Structure 1
Amino acid sequence: MKKVFTMIMLVGILSTGCKKFLDVKPHGETTQDELFKTQKGFRDVLTGAYIRMKSGNIYGGSLMWGNIEYMAGNWDNTNSANTAIPALIAGKYTDQTVREWNDATYQDLYKVIADVNSILEKIDEKKAVFSDGNYAITKGESLALRAFCHFDALRMFGPVPSSPGIGLVLPYVKTVTKDTHLPISYQEFAKAVLADLDQAETLLKDVDPIRKYSIAQLNPGPLDQAVISDNYLEYRQVRMNYYAVLALKARVYLWLASSDAANKVNAAKYAQMVVDAVNQTGKPTFRLGEESDRAAQDYTMPSEHIMALSVYNLEAIANSLFGNNSGGLQRYDFADQDGFYYLNNLFPVAERTSDIRWKGQMWTYKSFTGLTSYATFKKFIQKPASSASQTLQVPLIRLSEMYLILTECADTKASAEASYLVFCSKKGIPFTAFNNADWMTDRKNKMIREYVRELYGEGQSFFTYKRYNVTTLPASWTSVYYNATPAKYIVPKPDREIN
């Protein structure tokens, strides 16, 4: 049996009060005891986990707009001196630099898990230090974050879900220790993810403010009257809130449906629960982004954010990576040597005047010397900082994904088209019914395309291809730009994890 040595040392946790890193060592029981004497101590550790999630190795880069998008073929390599990028695009994970990048992603996912595990090991015995519903909120968020990071480790480093096999895959880590954690089977791993999410759902259901108040009320401005006295419980859309747990369950069940179609029922169930969510006034908690959002330069469609990360310097990051005068991440939009147009096929010219994911300034051509044939990706370059309503957050789960899940999991052509029609009407996409001759295949092709178009730059395209085990994209929307074998979807774990 292969043993797995997992990074589980809690390296550093950022305290929101003093903004300094607090070292917590597994052997330093006194330090941990001091930290977890108060509700604030638990909150500081949880805040540290969210801050770690913004690491460039995971959701502040590699698992958002970075390496994972190269793996999906969403970016071109414009640096001829960089040999690692072509290797990453081609799925040549043996390249030394590529191995180092992917190893860092693996390690940082498990570091976040270590952060929340330190909470979960102590929270039950310290329940008395919490006021009101804060014990349930803190424990629920911690369990959900543990499931979230484990699930993304499975999506990236685990098997193709349509044929998971019976072998051991990854460790599901629940303790903070230097001891070795053994990998478990795919089936056991999936059960562990869902068990954490089930418990998180139960804990958050009756205490999460997002079930009572609107997003606007929980995001008060400087002149607004706060609806809750504890400001730590505001801004729930940038926390692992109750609806984020439901949405994540929908995503997990959809992944598991690749090998067991029965899971589609639960995927649709939880997606519908999020879509149907309302606040105390009966108004929808979340709404699909639409033309008015694009016109207001809210390009990430913050009304859709079920769970996001707050990134205070997002404007600077986006301008550096995607800016019109940047040589960073971009996609070619004119015919190149193979005569295909990737973006012209993904976003047909005939639809560009209505599709809000392209329309207006969502994509523009660069003025950077030598790159004028490339398109600037504007999703994260939003309204200027001078705007009082600038949204500096990166979405991890969005409402639009729930509509795609509902469309994909519908058991009849009519119900699938009903969900897809709502999605299309808000996104400015000309709706066409699924082909009568083989509507499920037509739906599959359209859904793959919508996942890529809708979640471009958000790290979901590669996982969509892996879930469908895509080898070549439909020729109708430029198959030449993505070719894969099952081996491309098997990202190796760090050597020390398998030795």
Structure 2
Amino acid sequence: MKVMNKTLIGLVSCMLLLTTGCEKFLTEEPTSDLTNTTVIKDVTGLNLLLQGTYRMMRDGNDNPPIASPLGIKLLSTCSGLDMMVNQEQVGNNWYFYTYSNQRYDPTSGVPAAIWTAMYKVINNANIILENVDNIQGEQSQINAIKGQALALRARCYFNLVRLYQHTYSLAKDKPGVPLQLTSDLEPKARATVQEVYNQIVADLTNAETLLPEYSRPSINYYNLDVVNFLLAEVYLTMEDWAKAQQYANKIRSGYELMTMGEYNAGFSTPNREWVLGYEQGSQDYWWYDSPACWFDFGQNNAPWQAEQILPSNYFVDVVMKSDPRMLVIANPLYPGKYAATKFRELRDEPPYGNLYDLRAAEMYLVEAEAAARQNDVQTALQILNTLQRERGASVTSTSSQDALIDAILLERRKEMWGEGLEWFDIQRLQLPIERTTTQGHYQNISIPRNSNKLIMMIPEKEVINNSLLEQNPNPSQAPVFVP
């Protein structure tokens, strides 16, 4: 990361705010020309910088196909066992998603786009955090701004450390990513994975103390529920089962599961289960960061029939056989393949639908898994059965700890398919990837557990510009992780 003048950063941030227009998502626009001094000295200015930071995060630094939260979910979905990029439609353009050399090439645009987007959000958050305690305004407003900035920064680091290094339990002493905690952007070496997770937890637990009184204006914003959700995910990855269960329970006890009618409706309308999502106005819709676009085959007169992602035949015919959540049709364009109908746009003119990010069902499964791993079989089974009954799915009845954990992980695969958990679960569970043409995939792919193909190399330009950065192993020379 290059050194950049603080004032320039502030001015660029102001320019971002002044050029960010939208109808519903983050509707607050600056009403006058802001200066850098104004931004950092009062609640109004810092809050506007926060709005711009949200928008930057939401749009992946204007590269939403891959660098936004939903774009990263797309990458995770296509990297798992069950979903695949439609090679007949996209040809060679998406080789990054098929474990080809592009996936770990440090000159590839994808690792650079994600890295750049995350660190830009982090830097905006740092500007806010450096100044928020010195601004004028009510303490409740100051706390709200600070808590949201901490949560945004923590989520960026959680994404980065999982994308550019192996999972916590395997690589806690290995290089993670640079911890940039000030806006000076001085070059830094990679902190260890343990140090990065320590910072993530510190940011989120600090945000936890700041946001209890914050009432968000819409589902677009990070409130205490989002912080608790992220803490549960982080502790699950760290295998701190007790804390993962504790924080997941905060969400489960506060959010009911959507009905099957709502599940079947296409994931474009917020319901009681949504913890975080993005409301869309007529000029606030990026077609290519919508799951409805990725999976859509025109089943709802949708204008963006991207036809990018297909479920594998094995997933439909074997894994999901007879499950009510098997929302697929025979592919209307590619005989012998399936098309998903789980994600649907609402109408054939803008706005096409809202975008979902986090929902409570994941926390039901996190709490169940964490309880089971502590051998609290009764609690885990009760939570799992609650989800299964709501979905009309087969109900698990085992009393074996190992069998119950397997059942919970299978339920996670069924409930959350296409929603971006797949690759991250493969990493944290240290699983291999086996995909074959006989399963309906386009290629035979065999990736051993803990392969270095499962993480991305640091973007080459970052290594060139920062001599302190240590590059990840090239999988062609070091196929698997070496402790």
> With structure 2 as the length reference, what TM-score do the two structures score?
0.78
Once the two structures are TM-superposed, the CA of residue 163 in structure 1 deviates from its matched residue by 1.1
Q: Give yes or no for contact 1:93–1:492 (8 Å, CA) kept in 2.
A: no
Match of 1:466 in 2: 427
Spell out, residue by residue over 1:275-308, the C-alpha distance to the aligned partner (whole angstroms, 9 max, x if none).
223xxxxxxxx21112231355556763222122
Are residues 1:418 and 2:400 paired?
no
Spell out, residue by residue over 1:428-448, the C-alpha distance to the aligned partner (whole angstroms, 9 max, x if none).
2111223x5xx3333343333
**C-alpha separation between the residues in 2 aligned to 1:296 and 1:419?**
24
Are residues 1:168 and 2:168 paired?
no
> Which of the numbers 15, 18, 21 marks the counterpart of 1:19?
21
Match of 1:151 in 2: 158
> Which of the numbers 226, 249, 252 marks the counterpart of 1:272?
249
Match of 1:291 in 2: 260
**C-alpha separation between the residues in 2 aligned to 1:331 and 1:102?**
24
**CA pair 458-52 structure 1, distance change in 2 beyond 3 A:** farther
Spell out, residue by residue over 1:325-376, the C-alpha distance to the aligned partner (whole angstroms, 9 max, x if none).
4353232555xxxxxx23222311x22xxx2x33xxx4333333xx244333
Are residues 1:484 and 2:461 paired?
no
Aligned to 1:195, the other structure's residue is in SS state helix
Q: Give yes or no for contact 1:58–1:64 (8 Å, CA) kept in 2.
A: no
Q: Give yes or no for contact 1:93–1:491 (8 Å, CA) kept in 2.
A: no
**C-alpha separation between the residues in 2 aligned to 1:449 and 1:98?**
36
Spell out, residue by residue over 1:44-89, the C-alpha distance to the aligned partner (whole angstroms, 9 max, x if none).
1111111112221322653022x33222242234248744634532
Match of 2:233 in 1: 251
Once the two structures are TM-superposed, the CA of residue 19 in structure 1 deviates from its matched residue by 3.1
Q: Give yes or no for contact 2:151–2:207 (8 Å, CA) kept in 1.
A: yes
**CA pair 315-103 structure 1, distance change in 2 beyond 3 A:** closer
**C-alpha separation between the residues in 2 aligned to 1:276 and 1:418?**
14
Q: Give yes or no for contact 1:445–1:474 (8 Å, CA) kept in 2.
A: no
**C-alpha separation between the residues in 1 aligned to 2:370 and 2:202?**
22
Query: 1:73-152 residue pairs with structure 2 within 5 A?
Result: 73=81, 74-79=83-88, 82-83=91-92, 85-86=94-95, 88-90=97-99, 92-93=101-102, 96=105, 99-126=108-135, 128=136, 130-131=137-138, 133-152=140-159
Spell out, residue by residue over 1:171-194, the C-alpha distance to the aligned partner (whole angstroms, 9 max, x if none).
122111231122211111111111
Match of 2:217 in 1: 234
Q: Structure 1: any 5+ residue segments left out of the alignment?
A: 21-29, 210-232, 258-262, 278-285, 335-340
Aligned to 2:318, the other structure's residue is in SS state helix
Q: Structure 2: any 5+ residue segments left out of the alignment?
A: 23-33, 299-304, 468-483
Match of 2:340 in 1: 377
**CA pair 100-134 structure 1, distance change in 2 beyond 3 A:** same
Spell out, residue by residue over 1:229-277, the C-alpha distance to the aligned partner (whole angstroms, 9 max, x if none).
xxxx411x221101111111111001001xxxxx100000111122223
Amino acid at match of 2:118: L
Q: Give yes or no for contact 1:315–1:392 (8 Å, CA) kept in 2.
A: no
Q: Give yes or no for contact 2:96–2:102 (8 Å, CA) kept in 1.
A: yes
Identical residues among aligned pairs (%): 20
Are residues 1:494 and 2:455 paired?
no
Amino acid at match of 2:416: L
Once the two structures are TM-superposed, the CA of residue 324 in structure 1 deviates from its matched residue by 1.5
Once the two structures are TM-superposed, the CA of residue 322 in structure 1 deviates from its matched residue by 2.8
Once the two structures are TM-superposed, the CA of residue 320 in structure 1 deviates from its matched residue by 4.4
Once the two structures are TM-superposed, the CA of residue 151 in structure 1 deviates from its matched residue by 0.6
> Which of the numbers 31, 35, 38 marks the counterpart of 1:34?
38
Aligned to 1:414, the other structure's residue is in SS state helix
Q: Give yes or no for contact 1:6–1:181 (8 Å, CA) kept in 2.
A: no
Aligned to 2:171, the other structure's residue is in SS state coil
**CA pair 413-85 structure 1, distance change in 2 beyond 3 A:** same
Query: 1:342-381 residue pairs with structure 2 within 5 A?
Result: 342-348=315-321, 350-351=322-323, 355=324, 357-358=325-326, 362-368=327-333, 371-381=334-344
Q: Give yes or no for contact 1:171–1:181 (8 Å, CA) kept in 2.
A: yes
Spell out, residue by residue over 1:207-228, the C-alpha distance to the aligned partner (whole angstroms, 9 max, x if none).
122xxxxxxxxxxxxxxxxxxx
Q: Give yes or no for contact 2:168–2:194 (8 Å, CA) kept in 1.
A: no
**CA pair 136-449 structure 1, distance change in 2 beyond 3 A:** same
**C-alpha separation between the residues in 2 aligned to 1:446 and 1:488?**
28
Match of 2:481 in 1: none
Match of 1:70 in 2: 78
**CA pair 297-202 structure 1, distance change in 2 beyond 3 A:** same
> Which of the numbers 337, 353, 356 marks the counterpart of 1:394?
356
**CA pair 479-157 structure 1, distance change in 2 beyond 3 A:** farther
Are residues 1:328 and 2:307 paired?
yes
